């Protein structure tokens, strides 16, 4: 586990002891990778309370992509 991931995972809410679940199918998106220093494809196969946990397809750097939207039930 990389130091940045440890820091991100340590900031997860503590009410759910398990915290991480596997996705039934992977999610892919483009994101700037600070290790590769370019736009790279990230692939996530896990989800946590803070967002999707994905790896850069170029270098393997693991990051949490925070959730940016909520549904109508979560916004109330």
Report the predicted TM-score, pTM, of the whole model to 2 decimal places. 0.63
Distance of alpha carbon 58 from alpha carbon 18, whole angstroms: 29
How high is the pLDDT of residue 75? 55
CA of 52: how far to CAs of 2, 45, 76, in Å? 16, 8, 23
Q: What is the pLDDT of residues 30-63, one digit of tens each?
A: 999 999 999 999 999 999 988 999 999 999 999 9
Per cent of the chain over pLDDT 70 is: 67
Q: Which two tokens stand for residue 39?
A: 């736009």
Q: Which helix (H) or strand (E) holds 48?
A: strand 38-48
Segments making up each domain of the chain, as ranges: 3-69
What size, in residues, is the chain?
76
How high is the pLDDT of residue 58? 94
Residues pairing with 14 in the sheet: none
Per cent of the chain over pLDDT 90 is: 53
- What value does the mean pLDDT of the chain take? 80
């Amino acid at each position: 586990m990389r130091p940045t991931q440890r820091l991100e995972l340590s900031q997860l809410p503590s009410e759910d002891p398990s915290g991480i679940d596997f996705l039934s199918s992977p999610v892919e998106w483009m994101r700037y990778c600070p290790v590769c220093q370019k736009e790279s494809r990230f692939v996530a196969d896990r989800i946590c309370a803070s967002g999707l946990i994905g790896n850069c397809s170029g270098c393997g750097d693991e990051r949490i992509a925070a959730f940016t939207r909520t549904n109508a039930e979560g916004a109330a």
